[in-house]
Structure 1
Amino acid sequence: MELAVDAKPTYEVGARKWLITITVITCAIMELIDTSIVNVAIRQISGNLGATVEETAWVITAYAISNIVIIPLTGFLGDVFGRKNYFTASVILFTVASFMCGFSGSIWTLVAWRFVQGIGGGALLATAQTVLVETFPPEELDKANGIFGAGIVMGPTLGPVLGGYLTDNYSWSWIFYVNIPVGIIAAILSWKFIKGGKKKLSGKIDYWGILALIAGVGSLQMVLEEGERKDWFSSNFIIFFFILAITGIILFIVRELTTKNPVIDLRVLRNRNVAVGSALRFAFGIAIYCSVFLYPVFVQSFLGWNATRTGLLILPSAFLTGMLMGVNGALIKKGISPRILLIFGFGMVITFAYILYRLATPAAGEWEFLWPQLVRGLGFGFIFVPAASLTLAGLKGKDIGQASGLSNMLQLLGGSVGIAALNTYITRRIAAHHADLMSNLSLYSQTSNERMQGIMLQLQANGKTGEQARQMAMGIMNGSLSTQSSILAYSEGFMMIGIICAIILPLVFLAKIKKGEIADIGGAH
């Protein structure tokens, strides 16, 4: 879709520049916190609203679906309504929906408002990066990417920490109410300081492309979120949405590549660096969201940690990542190749995955998880800025917004795909390990017989009859076996994160990197 090009852009300076930066980064962090803040409160919400755990899971699903649908449309909607109007309205929508979520008295009211909250939140994430790119001059683009990257890495990490603390000490409603004061201040600041009016669109609006995108990506997200709970393709529900997803995505791709005025110009992927950078962002999404998903489940399920303790241990890692974002920007500015930084970053994530594969045992304590998390933070700190720099370098005008929207969507989609695939993998590995270990519980195994007899004697000493002791001993042995199976499967889950990163890493050698090349954002204003 062609846009009228404004005059030569002017960039922000002084206090105004940093007020805009703080506003949009706060909004992006707030949006990303809400992608994971609910995860630790599922049981409390379920009990308070009288819903099943499966029904309560829709609180997460609804937000994810609306997020993934709206993100690639934000560039188009920002042009239609004006960047300032669209961003401010999204902040207000997100804030109002947050209040209504906390105030909800039934599970389906909460699900509906979470969907609305996701529409506002997805716009905050994608528009924030565009606003930053338009606020900083081209020579400071890596600094802008570093600031934005610190926010998007810290957001998912802070979610479980904040959610755990509020749920443990107050109630689940406060995980939504906490957004209200921040949202009010952000709405005022964005209306006062963010620039960007409506742009004159030439040609008809691509309504068919928008419809195909919503049907395809929304249905795909539905399949990913609900697949494991509904046993994948044994469910007609999943089969229906899978067919709708494939059909919608194919129609969307065909439409966007053939129409004169695409709502999302997929032709930008013909640029090799955009394609490589987007693939790296997809893998980055898998790594960050899957690591945040696996770690809390493991330590809370098998080590007995509460939500607050779980979250506090990964804070140092998040802060390390945030600090390194700025360092990366400076290194790229000094001429260090993004390729070198990406190799180091993904290498550290692979190292983190291998370490936890070896150390994730029932005997693990804080130290066994702290220093691998720091390795993870080190790796993430060296991925986002080089990947964003690689994606945007050399682009001009509106192509920046298109590439930014696509890469942000793919990063979130990577998280969804990764969690769904990893959850299925772990479930199946638990079953496989359980079957393998069960062979050791045999009448012909001296070790298992001795342990069985020891448990029975202890139970009989506590007043149980012989038959009661035998039944209880079998239950204890089976429970121990199930725990061991789960621990083995989760440790392999950590390793899978590293394997995925190792598979995607060679793509960095396909990128064309020209020293000193930066994005020309003049036409983006």
Structure 2
Amino acid sequence: MNRDSSKWLVTLSVTFGTLMGAIDSSIVNVAMPQLRSAVGATVQEITWTTTGFALATVMVMPLTAFLGRLFGQKRVYLACLGLFVVGSFLCGLAWNLPSLVLFRALQGFGAGALQPTEQAILRQTFPPKEQGMAMALFSMAVMVGPAIGPTLGGYIVDNFHWSWIFFINVPVGILGFFMVARFVREPEDVLIANRLEGEKQRENLDWQGILLLCVGLAALQYLLEEGQTNDWFESAEIVVCALVAGICLVAFVIRELTAVAPVVNLRLFKDPIFASGTVLSALMFSILMASMFLLPMFMQELLGFTATQSGLALMPRTLLMLAIMPIIGRVYTRFPPQLFISVGLAITGLGVYQMSHFNLDTGTHNIIAAILMQGLGFSMMLVPLSTVALSRIPRHRLPDATGLNSLLRQIGGSIGLAMFATLLSRYGTQATAALSVHLTPTRPEVMERLAQLRGGFMARGMDFTAAQETALRMLSGLTARQGLVLAFDKLFLLAALLFLLVLPLVLFLKAPPRSDGPHETPHIDVEI
């Protein structure tokens, strides 16, 4: 088999796992009512199905390279894919809330290593001049998964049993497992380097680093997932999580910089290209995920879309990204990456700004026009960022770098979601209160609207008192609804401004010299 056909088989093989993991991060959201009914959980309790998955995922991501050196990169990928498939199957059989949360955590432990391992494998498989294409393929899996998850989940829930949102992973995962086993080969230089470092790790196993990392990340992710629900630092539980996360993560950094064989190689941040690319990627991902989170909520809560309808309305953005990302990957080497990122930021910001003018009369065509611009902007940003950040990392260090890159991107997205969810609640309350001030009996338009509502209810058989009370409640509900529209618009405007404010930071992005040399990644002087 020639190299050209081999690299595409490798790409197809490892993409199955990443795509399923990305889909599962969002597919469960649309099935919450069915899951609550099936396991007898409250609204608050059922959120643990997503929290458990997220906690497990972030704990595994930075440990991917450590596990790869101990057991082999390919074996770790296969083991995690197998764990994800088993967890998916068990989720479909869950009989109560604890079992569902436990099996979702198993899924998360499996999914956590899939994304960084695929990124490393693709970087090791494609030659330097095609690294942009490799990262375009990776970015497609990372972004398309959460985009199609709600649509796929809505269709399954509407037409089949809820358990099939989990069972569908089983045949796809098994196919991916056998394809990886058959077509993926670890490069000889990577195997030798991992074998040598694996022996060093076994002799100096960094148990302290593993413990500090897991506890610190679990506390941080829990804080971000549950902070809004628990009113942030008004809750003693959240305060404790913040203290534990801060202490453990600071101690973890100190430990990793002094350990003989650190479990996570933080010294990679000494490379300015990796550091600037990773930090900028995390920052932009936080704004990007927040803006993607708001629009489906707006459509479902205010425009009356079902989960399936909102997913279908967002599908043009996904299709455009599928078409544009490979093109960006192919022409990536012809222009400076800062140019792609800057133009992408501006286009995305403009698309989000258009959403700040949405109202209750907004139609699907208005939504599609705005999200198509975002899809083009996303494509122009994500491919160069993923490519630049890893451009000077030695091949045997790619799992370390991709684990850190994926982790910071995940945490950035969680921070963005937490901030915007909190602001949505706060802005909605403020806007509703401001509108309610104008609902006085002295205003003729208020009395006219109230009389219309009361007359409508009386025409349906209500007496005057009942019709008056119902009309007042409806007027209050309409006010709250309009206040929520104003809150969404304010947040869309804020997201657009944040995209533009990130633009100057692109100047700090270090870019490597272009190379069309042999199939090797340049070496950087990073202590081990």
Q: Same fold (TM over 0.5)?
A: yes
- Aligned-pair distance for 1:169? 0.9
Structure 1 counterpart of 2:362, from 339, 361, 364: 364
- Aligned-pair distance for 1:331? 2.1
Structure 2 counterpart of 1:466, from 445, 464, 467: 464
Task: Please tell me whether residue 107 in structure 1 is matched to residue 97 in structure 2.
Answer: yes
* Paired position in structure 2 for 1:355: 354
Aligned partner letter, 1:491? D
Q: Is the 8 A contact 1:394 1:517 kept in 2?
A: no
- Aligned-pair distance for 1:522? 7.5
Instruction: Point out the more displaced range, 391-400 or 172-181.
Output: 391-400
3-state DSSP of counterpart to 1:444: coil
Aligned partner letter, 2:260? K
Relative to 1, partners in 2 of residues 1:506 and 1:12: Cα closer, same or farther, differing over 3 Å? farther
Q: Is the 8 A contact 2:81 2:114 kept in 1?
A: yes
Q: Is the 8 A contact 1:83 1:195 kept in 2?
A: no
* Paired position in structure 2 for 1:19: 9
Aligned partners of 1:221, 1:266: CA distance in 2, in Å? 20
* Paired position in structure 1 for 2:252: 252
Relative to 1, partners in 2 of residues 1:516 and 1:226: Cα closer, same or farther, differing over 3 Å? same
* Paired position in structure 2 for 1:158: 148
Instruction: Point out the more displaced range, 277-286 or 197-206.
Output: 197-206
For structure 1, list consecutive stretches of 5 or more residues without a partner in the other structure: 1-10
3-state DSSP of counterpart to 2:356: helix
- Which deviations, in whole Å up to 9, do the C-alpha atoms of 1:219-242 show, x marking residues without a partner? 110011111111212222212211
Aligned partner letter, 1:409? L
Q: Is the 8 A contact 2:222 2:241 kept in 1?
A: yes
Aligned partner letter, 2:293? F
Aligned partners of 1:69, 1:182: CA distance in 2, in Å? 25
Task: Please tell me whether residue 77 in structure 1 is matched to residue 73 in structure 2.
Answer: no
Aligned partner letter, 1:200? L
- Which deviations, in whole Å up to 9, do the C-alpha atoms of 1:13-37 show, x marking residues without a partner? 1433221110111211111000000
RMSD: 1.9
**Any residues of structure 2 matched to 1:229-308 within 5 Å, and which?**
229-308=229-308
- Aligned-pair distance for 1:515? 3.9
Q: What TM-score, normalized by structure 2, do the two folds share?
A: 0.93
**Any residues of structure 2 matched to 1:108-127 within 5 Å, and which?**
108-127=98-117
3-state DSSP of counterpart to 1:262: coil
Aligned partner letter, 1:15? S
Q: Is the 8 A contact 2:154 2:308 kept in 1?
A: yes
* Paired position in structure 1 for 2:185: 195
Q: Is the 8 A contact 1:230 1:238 kept in 2?
A: yes
Q: Indicate the percent of aligned positions where both proteins have the same amino acid.
A: 33
- Which deviations, in whole Å up to 9, do the C-alpha atoms of 1:266-314 show, x marking residues without a partner? 1222222222211221133224422332122111111111121111122
Q: Is the 8 A contact 1:285 1:413 kept in 2?
A: no
* Paired position in structure 1 for 2:400: 402
- Aligned-pair distance for 1:439? 0.4
Task: Please tell me whether residue 313 in structure 1 is matched to residue 313 in structure 2.
Answer: yes
* Paired position in structure 2 for 1:439: 437
- Aligned-pair distance for 1:517? 4.6
Structure 1 counterpart of 2:120, from 130, 138, 141: 130
Task: Please tell me whether residue 494 in structure 1 is matched to residue 459 in structure 2.
Answer: no
Aligned partner letter, 1:107? L
Aligned partners of 1:281, 1:25: CA distance in 2, in Å? 21
Aligned partners of 1:451, 1:238: CA distance in 2, in Å? 44
Matched residue pairs, number?
A: 512
3-state DSSP of counterpart to 1:395: coil
- Which deviations, in whole Å up to 9, do the C-alpha atoms of 1:324-375 show, x marking residues without a partner? 22222222222x00000000111111111100011x2111111011111111
Aligned partners of 1:512, 1:120: CA distance in 2, in Å? 33
Q: Is the 8 A contact 1:349 1:380 kept in 2?
A: yes
For structure 2, list consecutive stretches of 5 or more residues without a partner in the other structure: none
Aligned partners of 2:145, 2:267: CA distance in 1, in Å? 31
Q: What TM-score, normalized by structure 1, do the two folds share?
A: 0.94
Aligned partner letter, 2:300? Q
Q: Is the 8 A contact 1:91 1:187 kept in 2?
A: yes
Aligned partners of 1:209, 1:499: CA distance in 2, in Å? 39
Aligned partner letter, 2:314? I
